[in-house]
């Protein structure tokens, strides 16, 4: 059964780090894939999983940068992958499946944020294509390995940015409405959350559980498309350009930002659960659509009907369905 969207008092909080939540957990013999694992919170996600004994594979578009940023971390390998390129996704998955190994943890963490209007070769808006469709295709292509694990978790790194917009099923690619980078980002992050809702339903018979999460406000290279003035206006960056760390106000360091991803991927507290949206290493509170609270999950990000609709749209746009 999926757990209700209700906090469980996990014992962790905003200041907890990835290393706090994984303490005492043994991942020896487990294999994990972490997209975006060579930048931002992804690096600490990879470090935490590897420190617990997991073999971690980091797909990367920039191989040189990935090798540089992950150099010296045991149990970590880098592979080529471009989430904007369907052929690259298929090639990565084929290489992994050819090894015959099960996949115990898949953390879909890579993403782009609030960039100018860009389209992939199919004409799809880049934030929706990268943040959602690329991960949708990757997860489905890796499905045989997830099933083989006999108990796997898929973690979608969403954002509190989901509150900026539900998925606009009438015009997801901004073909008939003016492009708004904030709305496009919000739509893609809502899609990340809805993907976990439907995936968990489909995966339960095979022991595959899915979670979505808000990692916290962390100033990383993800914010490269925002001007200094935009960043300062958020309160997350000082006038001199240095980041503000105050986890009580959701302003986190990268190790704190990686905590909820690692908790969702590994915590025994979540055994038998799934399909929920998490934050601060706990299940998030469901809030009303018009809530002005900075945290909490809005109804359109956990709606089962919208999750079903998104799944059908994703199948149509990618031509990829779950293997029989």
Contacts of 245 (CB under 8 A, 6+ apart): 251, 252, 253
**Residue 245 is encoded by which pair of tokens?**
């760390």
Q: Which of helix, strand or coil describes residue 261? A: helix
Catalytic position from the list 38, 124, 136, 185: 185
- Residue 257 has φ and ψ, to the nearest 5°, of -65, -25
Distance between CA atoms of 324 and 321, rounded to whole angstroms? 9
- The secondary element (H helix, E strand) that includes residue 90 is helix 86-98
10 Å CB burial of residue 2 (0-12, 13-18, 19+) is: middle
Question: Pairing relation of β-strands 31-35 and 105-108?
Answer: parallel
Report the distance separating Cα 110 and Cα 45, nearest Å: 12
The residues near 203 (Cβ < 8 Å, ≥ 6 apart) are 146, 152, 154, 209, 210, 274
- 185 belongs to the catalytic site: yes
Distance between CA 191 and CA 314 in Å, rounded? 10
What is the torsional sign of CA 118, 80, 105, 1? positive
Which pair of tokens denotes residue 251? 């302003």
Tokens found for residue 225: 């498309």
- Name the residues annotated as catalytic: 185
């Amino acid at each position: 059964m999926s757990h209700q969207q209700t906090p469980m008092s996990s014992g962790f909080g905003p200041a907890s780090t990835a290393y706090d939540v994984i303490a005492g957990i043994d991942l020896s013999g487990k294999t994990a894939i972490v997209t975006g694992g060579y930048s931002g919170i992804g690096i600490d996600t990879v470090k935490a999983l590897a420190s617990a004994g997991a073999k971690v594979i980091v797909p990367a578009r920039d191989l040189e940068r990935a090798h540089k940023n992950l150099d010296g971390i045991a149990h970590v390998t880098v592979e080529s992958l471009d989430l904007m390129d369907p052929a690259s996704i298929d090639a990565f998955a084929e290489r992994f499946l050819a090894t015959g190994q099960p996949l115990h943890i898949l953390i879909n963490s890579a993403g782009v944020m609030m960039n100018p209007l860009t389209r992939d070769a199919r004409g799809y808006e880049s934030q929706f294509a990268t943040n959602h469709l690329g991960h949708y295709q990757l997860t489905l292509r890796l499905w045989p390995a997830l099933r083989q694990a006999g108990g796997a978790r898929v973690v979608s790194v969403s954002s509190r940015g989901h509150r900026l917009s539900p998925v606009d099923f009438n015009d997801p690619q901004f073909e008939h409405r003016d492009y708004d980078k904030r709305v496009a980002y919000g739509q893609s992050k809502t899609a990340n959350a809805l993907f976990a809702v439907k995936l968990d339903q489909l995966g339960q018979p095979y022991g595959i559980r899915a979670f979505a999460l808000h990692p916290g406000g962390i100033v990383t290279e993800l914010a490269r498309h925002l001007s200094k003035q935009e960043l300062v206006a958020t309160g997350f960056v000082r006038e001199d350009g240095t980041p503000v760390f105050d986890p009580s106000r959701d302003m986190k360091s990268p190790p704190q930002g990686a905590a909820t991803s690692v908790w969702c991927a590994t915590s025994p507290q979540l055994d038998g659960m799934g399909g929920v949206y998490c934050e601060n290493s706990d299940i998030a509170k469901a809030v009303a659509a018009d809530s002005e609270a900075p945290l909490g999950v809005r109804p359109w990000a956990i709606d089962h009907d919208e999750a079903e609709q998104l799944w059908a749209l994703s199948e149509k746009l990618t031509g990829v369905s779950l293997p029989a």
